[in-house]
Amino acid sequence: MKRLAVALTLALALTGCTKEGAEKELSRDVLPDVTLGELQGDGQVDVASLRGPLVVPLFANYCGPCRKELPLFERLSQEHGDEVRVLGLNWSDPQTDKAVELVEDTGVTFDVLADPQGETGEPPNPRIGYLPTLWMVDADGKVTYREAEQIESYDELLDLVEEHLDVDL
């Protein structure tokens, strides 16, 4: 009986059914409280203060799928930048010169923040499983979508934006 009680306690702790686990899950709805610099500039941005509708593709120079999907985000920015802002996040990529090359090679003109140390994904609440990852942020600053996935088509991206940011494109 004692083993069963220990096993149940452990199972509850591992599934996040504790106050601590609940707080961590809730914090996935907010942007990380860090200040990051621009990839190609001198400006600084308080990430937690960002408001949407905002689409944030996370990428790195070493990520092949990221290279393929960045032009989709550029197209979104060009065609619907008045309705939805696109802000790139070069994540956990200390080779800034290669990240700049990637941005230039893929034709990206939207703003990109640099997070060379991966500060936006640090414990206790990892926000990033792998790359590419996509965040969407509503007008109140709430993260309405956070998934590690590759966007395969422009139509898929438009559908996700309309669904999670409540906009008509």
Q: pLDDT digit string (tens) for 38-87?
A: 999 899 999 999 999 999 999 999 999 999 999 999 999 999 999 999 99
**Whether the Cβ atoms of residue 80 and residue 160 lie closer than 8 Å to each other:** no
Q: At what angle do helices 64-80 and 96-105 cross, to 10 degrees?
A: 50
Instruction: Indicate if the pLDDT at residue 88 is higher than 90.
Output: yes
* pTM, to two decimals: 0.81
Query: What is the C-alpha to C-alpha distance for residues 33 and 140, in angstroms, rounded to an integer?
Result: 15
> Residue 57 pairs with which residues in a beta bridge?
134
Query: What is the C-alpha to C-alpha distance for residues 101 and 96, in angstroms, rounded to an integer?
Result: 9
Structural element, H or E, at residue 54: strand 54-59
Q: pLDDT digit string (tens) for 92-150?
A: 899 999 999 999 999 999 999 999 988 887 544 455 668 999 999 999 999 999 998 99
Question: Would you list the DSSP string of 132-157?
Answer: SEEEEE-TTSBEEEEEE-----HHHH
DSSP H helical ranges for 15-147:
19-26, 64-80, 96-105
